[in-house]
Structure 1
Amino acid sequence: MALTAWSPSARAYRPFDGTDAAVAAPGEVEIELQPAGRLHDAGGTALVAPAAVFNYGLGEDWEAVLEGQGETPLSPSGLTSLTAAGAFLKHVVVPGSLQDKTGPSIATEFGVLLPDSTGMSGVGASLAGIVSQRWDWGTIHLNAETVLTRDHHGDVFIGAILEGPLKWTIRPVAEVFYENEFSKEETVSALVGLIWQVRDNLSFDVAFRRGLTNGHPVDEIRAGLTFGFPLRFLDSRVTH
């Protein structure tokens, strides 16, 4: 029960819990997929398979996001459930270095947290602010999010992502965050990993996350890929 109740904040950038101040280009689809991952905490071990985020570029500086993941308790065993589901809109308020301009990129993401497939959870909501800055030596993404959880508790999330140089084919990455679901759960977390950028629209990632939730250790292994393609190619196939 502890494992299936655990739901991370909105993920829109693999392999992190936070996100970046960028959106998919208009008409472009970007899919972030984790075929399988492992989560272990004081309640036992669970298989996270699959976890997916679908991003679609709605227009200039706007993106629609749909996400969710399957979780299967392994020890003790249990039923598979759909968790961490949500639907969001993301908007780049101030284009910056992530959009090949000068200065920081600033974005907001807001939306609805959908009920889990099992249990008695309801509907929640979230509002996040993101600031990203890219330099030759690396990139920093700062996240601040306020949430009304599916159980209707208040929640705040503050995190920072650090990436190595974008020009490196394989770049090291790290993330730290603090999250407090008031009167229920407090989490501090650190993640280290690698992103292999195969080409502009394809990357692979692997990461290990270590956290403490109410003083109890949480370990997670994440591995997946991000790929993108234009939906316009479907129209061209039909016309030909």
Structure 2
Amino acid sequence: MAALCFVAWSRPVLAYRPFDGTDAAVAAKGEVEIELQPAGRLRDESGASLIAPGTVINYGLTADWEAVLEGIGQTPLSPPGATNLTAAGAFLKHVVVPGSLQDKTGPSIATEFGVLLPDSTGNSGVGASLAGIVSQRWDWGTIHLNVETVLTRNHHADVFVGAILEGPSTWTVRPVAEVFYENEFGKAQTLSGLVGLIYRVRDNLSFDIAVRHALTNHHPVNEIRAGLTFGFPLSSIVSHAAHRDALPGLR
């Protein structure tokens, strides 16, 4: 668990498997929610890379606040290179207006903000981000809209605008899609599309798979993503640890 706290999903701020954007919801109070990608493959103009692992850890602070830790382990495959811990950060997410994602009427509105931490290699510094999220759920599906402004680790301005479309939330297996545009001013522009499936085993466990194709400065980027999201109350870990320490010979 301690190791997972330092590796996470691919974007530096937003997180909702298997997307680059997120939804206007937070983990329940006292709940830990982990979004885990054991391994993924990314290919861009620099070559192929292994994303392993990729994790986001969310913890529900109150009914409408959560803390988020994230980052990724990325290993170049062709040409081969050393593993780099990148895209790490610490954030807070707040549901400003409860709505359809909280079993109320109307859109759910949330914000997420925090600090981007330096990569484990290279000369990157500290950045910051602020995002706004609007989600609306209907019987036929759900839409999430994301707008994010970032001061990158190299101190460039960056803007991200994206939309996620999901099939009916009552389906065990629902189709999903995402499109986004990102502009790191003076450095790179990206237009991306993703399609995939989410299989909900139960309320606190789901699996996902998706393929993503993008153009960054007119160069293709292709990615395969597969992972799972699971949750549990933090009190269950505390109780288990207390019970173990109370047993003779296990202290």
Would you say same fold, with TM above 0.5? yes
- Report if the CA contact (8 A) 1:9-1:18 is conserved: no
- Report if the CA contact (8 A) 2:69-2:89 is conserved: yes
Name which of 187, 192, 199 aligns with 1:196: 199
Q: CA deviation at 1:178?
A: 0.1
Structure 2 counterpart of 1:224: 227
CA offsets, 1:57-97, max 9 Å, x none? 01120000000110000000100000110000000000000
CA offsets, 1:170-222, max 9 Å, x none? 00000000000000000000000000000000000000000000000000000
Return the TM-score normalized by structure 2: 0.91
- Percent identical among aligned pairs is 79
Q: CA deviation at 1:232?
A: 1.3
Counterpart residue identity of residue 225, structure 1: L
Structure 2 counterpart of 1:183: 186
Question: 1 CA distance for matches of 2:238 and 2:224?
Answer: 39
- Which segments of structure 1 move beyond 6 Å, counting only runs of 4 or more? none
The structure number with the bigger radius of gyration is 2
Structure 2 counterpart of 1:47: 50
Task: Give 1:44-193 correspondences, 5 Å limit.
Answer: 44-193=47-196
Question: 2 CA distance for matches of 1:205 and 1:235?
Answer: 29
Question: 1 CA distance for matches of 2:38 and 2:218?
Answer: 29
Counterpart residue identity of residue 186, structure 2: S
Structure 2 counterpart of 1:206: 209
Q: CA deviation at 1:9?
A: 4.2
Return the TM-score normalized by structure 1: 0.96
Question: 1 CA distance for matches of 2:211 and 2:110?
Answer: 27
Q: CA deviation at 1:233?
A: 1.6
In structure 1, the gaps of 5 or more residues are: 1-6
What secondary structure is seen at the aligned counterpart in 2 of 1:236? helix
Counterpart residue identity of residue 153, structure 2: R
